[in-house]
Amino acid sequence: MLENYLPVLVFIGIGVLVGVIPLALGMAVGPSRPDAAKGSPYECGFEAFEDSRIKFDVRFYLVAILFIIFDLEIAFLFPWAVALDSIGLFGLLAMAMFLGILVIGFIYEWKKGALEWE
């Protein structure tokens, strides 16, 4: 029974070696000259203004999620448009229902003020 797992274990072992050997060679052969300039934070050629862990407004994430949702809508529209001849009226009604649900969601977000920016 365990001999069936031998090829899997060999494959895992080779994968680990392929990942570890280049790292070990780089650490052993490569030069290591750390100094203060290499360890300092770098941002566009000058020192950072403030800490990089500042809080972002949640509206950035909300706009990003809305963009992803409506971008995926377009990804569903392309194959539907290509196959419209073969799916007929049922496909047209299904896509109308899909777009209707998305439009309702868009109107809801609009009324809630998610798209307003100050």
**CA distances (Å), origin 92, targets 27, 69, 74, 102:** 60, 21, 15, 15
Rounded mean pLDDT, 88-94: 91
* Least confident segment among 32-36, 41-45, 51-55, 101-105: 41-45
Count of domains observed in the chain: 1
User: pLDDT per residue over 11-38, tens digit each?
Assistant: 999 999 999 999 999 999 998 888 877 7
Q: Cα 117 from chain centroid?
A: 24
Domain assignment present for residue 98? The answer is yes
Place of tokens 């994430």: 61
User: Residue type for 14, please?
Assistant: I
35, part of any domain: no
Pairwise CA distance, residues 86 & 118, whole Å: 47
The domain of 68 spans: 58-112
